[in-house]
Amino acid sequence: MIFSTPIFVFAFLPLFLIAYYLVPAKLRTTVILIGSCIFYGWWKATYLLLVLGIAAVSYVAGAIALNGATKAHRVWAVRLGVCANLLALAWFKYAYFIANSFDAALAKIGFPRDAGIQLPDIILPIGLSFLVFQSISYILDVSRRDAPPARRMVDFLAFSTLFPQLIAGPILRYKDLADQFEDRTHSLRQFYHGASRFVTGLAMKLLIADSVAPLADRLFALSTPTMAESWLAALAYSIQLFFDFAGYSAMAIGLGLMIGFRFVENFNAPYISRSVTEFWKRWHISLSNWLRDYLYVPLGGNRGGSFKTYRNLLLTMVLGGLWHGANWTFILWGIWHGGLMALERSLGSKSRASVWPAAIAWPLTMILVMIGWVMFRAPTVTQGLGIYQGMLGFNGLPLTGETLLLMRPTEAISLALGIAISTAQGWAPNLRDLSQRVPTQIANSASFVRAVCLFCLCGMIMQARADSPFLYFQF
């Protein structure tokens, strides 16, 4: 089930909210668990057992890691719990990648292609990457006594299957929600803010991301794109990805507010960043924090000298890239960002907001980020290199007539609107001061009218368009 579909917006969500608010407070967590199981099982019921199994194993591992009879029991509980999560992820997400890489290596030394590893059909369960990271953080936090263990298994199962964010984040940590499972605040004002945030995210997805997507898809499918087409492809995908993923996060946060949860923010205007280091403080914040706390710091962080710091940055980003998908494109994307962050670190990014000259800091950062998005989007390294060749002008300079002919007005308008919205915060610092001078009643009325208009517009678009899964479903 997808948030941006009529069956979710007009059927599942209203029925779930009615059930949630009709039952006594002590049963609401159970309703969340049941609703989340229905939501996930709608896609593939058999994989629901996998999700619940991973959650149950992580819950038991955390309990033993905290209360095991001996230190050895506690240590092994952590090891086995983490390994069980990683093995599940490795099988479903990386088995084909490993097997294909092994087969390719055999082929290069003369073996036939069918002499390698034979695997059954494997379908990646949606949301598995996010679930595994959340489960690992729970086991480690509990074992370190950085977080309280879940008092009831139903609480942890509800946390693990929490449908607002199960599929594509934000990556939550149980310690941030433990108190909210015990006692959540519900109010009409909070519900309205949640609904408004959900509608905003829905509009980001349907009005911007899905409208720009056909343009990005056509441009990335070109065999010999010109310079203008290559850079337009990178720009279009940058806008599509941001509004798609940030839209999902906004919808997840809004849904959480509607049932009393406050999730962490996942985006903070990343396209106004003035360095790649700053970009990763603003983009996919929950992932950045997870990589920092459970990879970068355990690897040694910035301890042990400059070389080890750069190495740790590079390794962290490479593993972060590999987390996104089993493809060499993601590994190269991780190397690109890790290398740039190491370079900025060597130039003094720890002591300065940006190491680049003020006049070029923002455009240079955006160019570097867009160059990275090309490899992130490309299905193969070869296709990504083809786009890079186009960016350098090897296939000509201007847009071709075919590209201009196929570009729809809605694509161009949505792209321009996406650029304006995603960069506006950096160039309009006085908007907040202006909003503070507007009477509260007028501001609330305007917000309500805006939410209703956006919802009606999104409702019409949902009826007219085919379902479009969120991009991060595949990661």
For residue 287, give the nearest of 141, 139, 173, 138 by alpha carbon: 173
Which amino acid would we find at residue 445?
S
Which amino acid would we find at residue 365?
T
Take residue 189 and report the two structure tokens written for it.
Answer: 């004002």
Which amino acid would we find at residue 334?
G
Supply the DSSP symbol for 273: -
Q: In whole angstroms, give the CA distance from residue 242 to residue 248.
A: 10
Take residue 270 and report the two structure tokens written for it.
Answer: 């990343």
For residue 413, give the nearest of 234, 207, 205 by alpha carbon: 207
Q: In whole angstroms, give the CA distance from residue 249 to residue 198.
A: 9
Place of tokens 């990763």: 280
Which amino acid would we find at residue 124?
L
The yes-or-no answer on residue 324 being catalytic is yes
Q: In whole angstroms, give the CA distance from residue 138 to residue 144.
A: 10
Angle (CA) 412 418 419, round 5°: 90
Cβ atoms of residues 426 and 272 within 8 Å: yes
Helices then strands, each counted (H, E), the chain: 23, 0
Q: In whole angstroms, give the CA distance from residue 279 to residue 334.
A: 14
- Set 186, 193, 284, 324: catalytic member: 324
Which amino acid would we find at residue 154?
V
What are all long-range contacts of 409-413, with beta carbons under 8 Å and residues at least 24 apart?
A: 410/211, 411/211, 411/212, 411/214, 411/215, 413/211
Q: In whole angstroms, give the CA distance from residue 321 to residue 326.
A: 9
Take residue 151 and report the two structure tokens written for it.
Answer: 């008092």
Take residue 124 and report the two structure tokens written for it.
Answer: 């990646």
Q: In whole angstroms, give the CA distance from residue 27 to residue 31.
A: 6
Query: CA neighbours within 13 Å on the CB side: how many for 198?
Result: 22
State the DSSP H helix or E strand holding residue 164, giving kind and residue range, or none if neither: none
Residues in the chain: 475
User: Catalytic residue numbers?
Assistant: 324
